[in-house]
Amino acid sequence: MDRNEIISRITEEQLITIVRGVKNVLLIPMAEAMYAGGVRLLEITYSADGSTPDEVTADGIRALKAHFGDRMGIGAGTVLTERQVELTAEAGGEFIISPDTNSDVIRKTVKMGLVSIPGALTPTEAQTAHRAGADFVKLFPITSLGVPYVKAIRAPLSHIRFLAVGGVDEHNMKDYLAAGIAGFGIGSNIVNKKMIESGDFDGVTALARDFIQALAEARK
């Protein structure tokens, strides 16, 4: 899918599942379980501490994209360098998510035809990200900010599409949507490592389905 198609899919689905620290051998069965539960967007994170080599993470993205094709949108998370953007693009990844606002990473992402989703906390960071070409801006960590902050920052920055990440659950999605959030990043509430490592993929499907249903209810 091209940039515009991925932007449309993120806008429509409103949920990106964040996968961190899952071994490559488990990625496809895990992703199939999530797909069965309704998940259509996956973020595979790089290791900031280098515990997993960047090339290994990129191999996981490559394997997922080869397996799913356009059935699932696959991107990278915790992207801190331009080299990681390149590795993701070479692996077939479609979007780049970062915890910070790095204009060089944003510009590289857009130049390579991927969707840019940097993280921001302040109005200055959010506008800097937008000015550099970001397609969405991730408010992170949202649990430290809350709904009142979303309302406050969107008043002067209504032109920016914000995603809420960190501390989002099935109970607060409706409030964030009402405040103008465009979508969410969900991690451990769906990506249960114990279930994945023990092979309980039916359990993973159930967690994914619960969140997809909760999101559908939150939209009403």
**Catalytic one of 65, 94, 108, 138:** 138
Catalytic residue among 5, 32, 43, 86: 43
Q: Find the DSSP H helices in 14-170.
A: 24-36, 54-68, 82-90, 103-111, 123-132, 146-154
Distance of CA 136 to the CA centre of its chain: 10
**138 tagged catalytic:** yes
Contacts 24+ apart (CB under 8 A), 81-84: 81/105, 82/108, 83/54, 84/46, 84/54
To the query of whether residue 43 is one of the catalytic residues in this protein, the response is yes
Q: Are strands 41-45 and 73-77 parallel, antiparallel or unpaired?
A: parallel
Which tokens go with 202? 């039916």
Taking the C-alpha atoms of residue 153 and residue 193, their distance in angstroms, rounded to an integer, is 34
Known catalytic residues?
43, 138
